[in-house]
Each structure stands twice: as structure tokens, then as C-alpha cells.
Amino acid sequence: MTLDSTTQQNIDQWLSGPYDAATKATIQELIAKGDQTTLTDSFYKSLEFGTGGMRGEMGVGSNRMNKYTVGAATQGFANYLNASLPGQKIKVAIAHDSRNNSPEFTRIAADIFTANGIEVFLFPALRPTPQLSFTVRHLGCQAGLVITASHNPKEYNGYKAYWSDGSQVVAPHDKNIVKEVNAITSIADIKFEGNDALLHLLDGSIDEAYLQTILVNCRQPEVIKRQKDLKIVFSPIHGTGITLVPQALQMLGFEALTVVEEQAEPNGNFPTVIYPNPEEKEALTLALNKAKAIDADLVIATDPDADRVGAAVKSPDGEWALLNGNQMASLILYYLLKVSDLKGNEFAAKTIVTTDLIDKMCASKGVPCYNTLTGFKYIAQVIRELEGKEKFLGGGEESYGYLIGDAVRDKDAVASCAMIAELTAYAKDQGKSLFDFLAEMYVENNFYYEGLISLTKKGKAGAEEIKQMMINLRSNVPATVAGSKPVRVLDYEGLVSTDLLTGETTPIKVGLGIEASNVIQLILADGSKVSARPSGTEPKIKFYVSVNAPLASAADFFTVYAELQKKVGVIQEDLGLV
């Protein structure tokens, strides 16, 4: 078995260094088996602490989530906090999801923070990620941490770092924390022995305070009273949603909630699904079966850390259809724009790969909509910079993350479940289904349809392949796509917009959620848009396609839908993605 020099050097370091016996024994087992693939992927590099944290498969090795990589990340984070906030009494709030090893990683992080003289406010049991965001602000903490890998498969875990505004860290703190983490070159630099005098366990008062912010978001309490029997099926998919989503819905006045019992218990093995991802229909199978059995009005399901929510609604043919993230983000903004008492200082925010339907609806109401890079930390950055001057109405991203109001500064599935239930009740109060509400929105604003292709490219070879795909797209813009000529390229890495008809270039303005990033967008002459973006947290490259057409009436819904679906498929074929 021959390994490259970096991989072998990292393996030797772990076998000879002060790592625990169980870790060394596992490495030796892999060597004895001759498992070159696992050894390479586990040791060919150090698990990267990116600008928002890190995520990876659990296991031994420098490129895996384990006590040592979590320890190095936390020590670097603690070093940065102490260096950048000298003389301050530093407080950090910590939460975790339902994944395997999440409680253990959480306690390791808590001990390291306290060992470095930092006060820790720790949730004693699993809680949603948005509640951690709220808690950072509520308790006046300087930072926060969630141990979670969101909707990734069961083999994964992760580490999400937050700053004092409740947002995932942004510039300059993000890159400065990365420097401090990378400066930890030996586990001897990590202070694992905690100081319990600086550790505080949080109680139910934080739950109550957070739930009150959801109550404040409610726009139509009288409608909910009339529609209190709205039949809602909810699944937490074995995650943290079970802790607060049912409470939030009941607090608002919904009395006909059915929880999918088979998926109610938190379990890091996610035994009833292949992936704990509410974007996948398979993950909602049990919820959809339950909805059919009781003739429900709405299905909602949250991912393991309850920052994303998927929803399903019955269509006119009686079948249940999943709404995608673009549709739900649009419906939430459509509802908020329709029923809110707008004062003229409101704004919305979304990411550049999220449907332009939201921009169009906001413009029709005179509400600015700010477009940011992918990631809710950029939406939070806009909220922070406009705080006190403009009021955040709501926003979202195509990957099933939404936010209403500014009490939380990350995507919030708990608050979103409440708002989705409310807007469904609003539609029913008018004799409509949620599907009818969707069609109404499209008739008023055009039918926007988006397609996503996500290509997984694992390991070192995969990373190189993704890099080359982006190079090829930048250097070889196709002459036509689905019969339409590309007229503009927006390259966020170089922060330049190029008019392909004139060759004229203009800079893309930095600020309010925009900075240099490895994203390319092609704008076609017919108004279609193609975006390409390597994932920052997973071994994937994503291609987003957006098309639109008028919808004359709800009766034409499926005809126009089929036409737009076909067009997205042609665009994907022309780009060599299928």
C-alpha cells in the first residue's frame, strides 16, 4: 500500500502523537486491512475550518470530525475571542442537534472554552439552530456554536460558529478565526480540561423567550382562531424540531396537529429515512401517508437542526405535491406583502440563486429586496447593516431556509412552520387550498420555475474536478443555451459583470451581503438564468436554472408547469449536466 507523502506524514503524526489508544487502534486496523481509500480520505488534508465552521464525516483522522478536530477548532475560536476582545467578560452559547456524537462534541467544546476563561451557556439537551442564534443575542453573548451537520447523511457532523449578532461569522471575523484554527498545529495546544465554574446550563425560560418572538410574527390571529382545526401533519425527521415546533403551533392556536410518531424521537441514525433532508420526498413518505389517512391540509417537516423546513400540499388531482424552496420562500413573501401593514421602511432579502419572483413581488409593493451570496450569514449581514434604518420583513433561500422578522439571524424552521401554517389558514379562510394560493401568486406575477442539479464529487479527485468545471465555464461561455443567447455573465469571483453583446464590463458592488465568491451566473436573452456554485460545506457543485412564463389562469397551471420543466431540462442538457 502506497500513500502520498502528506497522507503518510499525517498518519505517522497521529500514531506517534498523544492521541488516545482507541484512535490509534482504529488507524492500525485500517492499515492492516489495506484500506487505502479510507486512509487517504481521512488523512490527506486537515478538515477545513471554513468561513462559517466545518462539516465532515465522523471518524479518526485529520480530515474527519472527531474530538481532536473539534478541539482544534474550538481552541482556535477561543484564542481569537480572547485576542480580539481583551479585557471583556466573554460569553458563548452552545447548542447541538440529534446527531451521533453531538452531545460529546458539545461538551468537549464547552470544556475548551471554559478552560480558556470563557463563560459558556449550554443547552442541556438538543435544541434547534435558530434558537441558538436567538440565545446569543438574548443573553448578550459574544459568540455562539452549534454542533450540527444540518440535513447531511448520518455519517456527518459539523461545527457552526456564530458572532454576537446571532449570525454565522462573517468578515473580518470569519477569516481571522480560520487563521487561529490553522495555527493549532499540535493537540498539546488544546486545553481539554474544563472549568465547571464557568459553565451554566440553560433552562426553559429561553424556550419561552424564543417562542414569544414567533408569536410576534403572527399577522392574522383572528384567521387562526377561525381555522384552528386546520389539519397539520408535522415530522421532525428524528431531529430537534420536536422540541419546539409543536409548542409554537399550539401556542398560536392550531389544535389539529398530528406528529409523525415514527419520526418523533431524536435519533442520529435517522432510521426511517435514507437522508434526513426535507427536500427529499422519500424523507416525507411517512408524513405524506399520514396526511392521506386523515385528509390533512398541510404537511411540514424539519431537518435535524430545524433550520430548514419542507412542505407539501394537496393538488387539485388529490395527490400530494412537495413545494420546493423557491416556491415556499415566494409564498411566505407573497403573504407577508399582502397582509402586513407596510410603513414604507420594510425590506426583504434573498440569495442570488433564489427565484427572482421575490424581487418582482417586492418591487410591485415598493419594498427593496436585497440579493446576497448564498448563506444566511449574508442575509443576516444585511439585517445588521440596516438595523435601525429599515425593518426586515422576511426572506429566504432556495435551499428550504426562511426567516421572518429579525429576532433570529439565521434560517428558522420553527418560525417558518408557524408562518406556513398561518398562510395556509389564511388561504383556507378564503375557501382556498395552499395550492390555490400558489397558483394565484403565479397568475399575478408570472410562473417562475427553478431546477437544481447537484453533482457530488468526493475526495481529493472530486475537489479537483469541481475546480476544473468552474474554470471551463468561465473560459467557454456557450453561444446559445436552449435556443437563447447568453447576454450577460456575472462572475462573483472577479466581481465583474460582462455584457456579452457589447463586451462592456462593470464591477459588481461589494457590500450588503456581496463579496468575492466562486459563483458564475449566465443571463439569457429570454430572461432565463443559470448559476453555478461549488458548495462551501459539502463535496458538491450546484447548477441552478431559472425560467418563467405568464400564467393566464389557474386552469393552465399544469400545462405551463410542464413547458417550464421541459425548458429547464433542455438548458441542463445543453450545458452537459444530464
The 8-class DSSP code of residue 73 comes to H
Omega before 172 within 30 of 0, i.e. cis: yes
- Please tell me the total number of residues recorded for the chain in this structure: 578
d(CA 123, CA 95): 5
| Alpha-carbon gap, residue 301 to 233, rounded angstroms | 8
The CA distance from 126 to 304, in Å, is 10
42 is catalytic: no
How many helices and strands (H and E) does the chain possess?
A: 18, 22
Q: Which long-range contacts (CB under 8 A, 24 or more apart) does 21-26 make?
A: 23/60, 23/66, 23/68, 26/59, 26/60
Q: Distance (Å, rounded) from C-alpha 360 to C-alpha 438?
A: 15
19: Cα within 13 Å, side-chain hemisphere:
24
Going through 255-336 in order, the beta strands assigned E by DSSP cover 257-259, 298-302, 309-314, 320-323
As to burial, measured by CB atoms within 10 angstroms (0-12 exposed, 13-18 middle, 19+ buried), residue 478 is: middle
Which DSSP state fits 48? P
Instruction: Return d(Cα 531, Cα 490) in angstroms, integer.
Output: 9
Q: Which of 150, 484, 528, 546 is flagged as catalytic?
A: 150
CA quadruple 416, 418, 419, 424: dihedral sign: positive
- Collapse the DSSP code of 66 into the 3-class scheme (helix H, G, I; strand E, B; otherwise coil) and give the result: coil
First-last CA distance in the chain: 36
Active-site residue set = 150
